Amino acid sequence: MLPETSTGRIDKKERSALDVAIDKTASRKRFKSNEEIYGAKEPAVYFYKVVSGCVRSYTVLGDGRRLIAAFHLPGEVFGLEPTERHLFSAEALSDAETLVINRNEVTRLAARENAVAGALWAHVANELHRTQNHLLLLNKGASERVVSFLLEMDDRIQLSDENGLPMTRQDIADYLALSSETISRVLKKLESASAIALRTTRHIVLRDRAVLEQMVT
Amino acid sequence: MLPETSTGRIDKKERSALDVAIDKTASRKRFKSNEEIYGAKEPAVYFYKVVSGCVRSYTVLGDGRRLIAAFHLPGEVFGLEPTERHLFSAEALSDAETLVINRNEVTRLAARENAVAGALWAHVANELHRTQNHLLLLNKGASERVVSFLLEMDDRIQLSDENGLPMTRQDIADYLALSSETISRVLKKLESASAIALRTTRHIVLRDRAVLEQMVT
DNA sequence: CGGAGTTTTGATCGAGCTCAACGTGGGTGG
DNA sequence: CCACCCACGTTGAGCTCGATCAAAACTCCG
């Protein structure tokens, strides 16, 4: 028990234990661009694993602004909340293919198989870690937020000419709690400083990772 | 498994299961005002339960600003991270008495007793829920943050003439990511609107909860 | 090509920060 | 018991960063 992932990441062994559980019970489902996968406050009957495409988890604040809590890329599990109801809504960013898993089946399995229980624990721990990082992010300046985002995305997908961002400027803005105009301006500034290159709007290449990393402090 | 606390709160049964575990193994330790309990990145060998006084979990950002992640009041458990090392530092706000629990002992117990494992799960789930709320908080205006804080504190301790806040303005500021000056000004404004009364600096009374609750939206 | 959604760019505005000065109250030693 | 003291809190003035508003430019498809 208590899988002790010092990095906060799900490690290989646990991931495969959960994967096995998922493969046993999952069915496949496709979502079109901007299609809702589930809404906040709905009973969390299912959770999901991204096969292809990209998904956003978000909530709409009282004043109508949208806060994106996370982007979910292929291979990642989302919607597996420790509560009975979803806290966030989820939508496909682009056309997306997912595996749909019945939550109860997996939790029943977890009661018998320790490895699965460990994987679930690790997943929540990971989620907590992510959220804490997001919290720290919002206490930084605009440039630092954008740079953190770029570095994070470059870790998760390889940013290159062939491999662009799956999300719009507005999505980035809502993730970083900035306006889309500010995203534009910061990116421009980073390009002028030749820390990045903007091949097209979606294709951003990190030119000087060292400089970028030292900006986030 | 998966204790399903829809409120995100640890429910009675689970709390007592963890309490029993704590009572079996805990020793008592006192900390003086502002004394460090543990530092960020230290191995998380122990976790704690507040008996009396108040504790803050915080981190210091790159630019020297301090972000308080949580205040821990009597009865609450803190330092029980899902990672091998503490993510935050913890200090006593005031003179505080705590129970110190060896983490391994409890996790070993959890491997055998399902109720204890459930309590641990619930604790992390609760922590996640808290952090998510904190995240949403930082996307609101200054007044809304302060009001949210007051309502939260009134839920946790009864704010009254006899029962003041345990923390300074600066602590509140670092929790809400505002300056202490802004805290002062907002409190003043709320008093002028007779939504609250400032008996002394630490003794704040909520006069019109309805108005306050409708401010946070 | 054309048209709608997205991105960029510019100009202005404002919430909250910073810096500085002043007030206050709780604790300590005489 | 009082006076002093020093950390804490309040108040004011000006500034800054990023939001907002407006409009032009680009891009992706039909």
| Angstroms from B89 CA to nearest CA on chain A | 14
Residues in chain A: 217
A95-130 pLDDT per residue, tens: 999 999 999 999 888 888 888 888 888 898 899 999
Rounded CA gap, B120 and B137, in Å? Answer: 26
Q: Which residue pairs, CB below 8 angstroms and at least 24 apart, start in B177-184?
A: B177/A138, B177/A139, B177/B67, B177/B138, B177/B145, B178/B142, B178/B145, B178/B146, B182/B142, B183/B146
Q: Please name the member of B5, B110, B128 whose beta carbon is closest to the beta carbon of A124.
A: B128
CA atoms within 13 A on the CB side of A131: 27
- On chain B, the residues whose CB falls within 8 A of the CB of A122 are 82
Q: Gap from B160 CA to D3 C1', in Å? A: 32
Summarize the confidence of residues B175-186 as an average pLDDT.
98
Scanning every strand, the nucleotide with its C1' closest to B140's CA turns out to be C15
Residue B27: exposed, middle, or buried by beta-carbon count in 10 A (0-12, 13-18, 19+)?
exposed
B68-113 pLDDT per residue, tens: 999 999 999 999 988 899 999 999 999 999 999 999 999 888 888 8
**Any strand D atom closer than 7 Å to B169 CB:** yes
| Angstroms from B8 CA to nearest CA on chain A | 7
- Cβ–Cβ below 8 Å for B139 and A85: no
Residue A118: exposed, middle, or buried by beta-carbon count in 10 A (0-12, 13-18, 19+)?
buried
With contact defined as beta carbons under 8 Å apart, do A50 and A78 qualify?
Answer: yes
A14-43 pLDDT per residue, tens: 556 888 888 888 999 999 999 999 999 999
Rounded CA gap, B32 and B21, in Å? Answer: 26
Sheet of A27-31, strands arranged across = A27-31, A96-102, A46-52, A77-78
- Cβ–Cβ below 8 Å for B85 and A6: yes
**Any strand D atom closer than 7 Å to A216 CB:** no
Residue type, B98: T
Query: Which range has the worst mean pLDDT, B4-8, B199-203, B211-215?
Result: B4-8
Q: Which domains, and CATH codes, for chain B?
A: 12-137 (2.60.120.10), 142-215 (1.10.10.10)
| Angstroms from B92 CA to nearest CA on chain A | 22
A168-203 pLDDT per residue, tens: 999 999 999 999 999 999 999 999 999 999 999 999
- Cβ–Cβ below 8 Å for A131 and B136: no
Buried b (16+ CB within 10 A) or exposed e, A58-79: bbeeeeeebbbbbbbbbebbbb
Scanning every strand, the nucleotide with its C1' closest to B65's CA turns out to be C17
The pLDDT mean for chain B works out to 90
Q: Name the interface residues of B facing A (CB cutoff 8 Å).
A: 1-2, 4-6, 8, 59, 61-63, 65, 67, 69, 82-85, 87, 107, 110-111, 117, 120-122, 124-125, 127-129, 131-132, 134-136, 138-140, 177, 216-217
Q: What is the pLDDT of residue B200?
A: 92
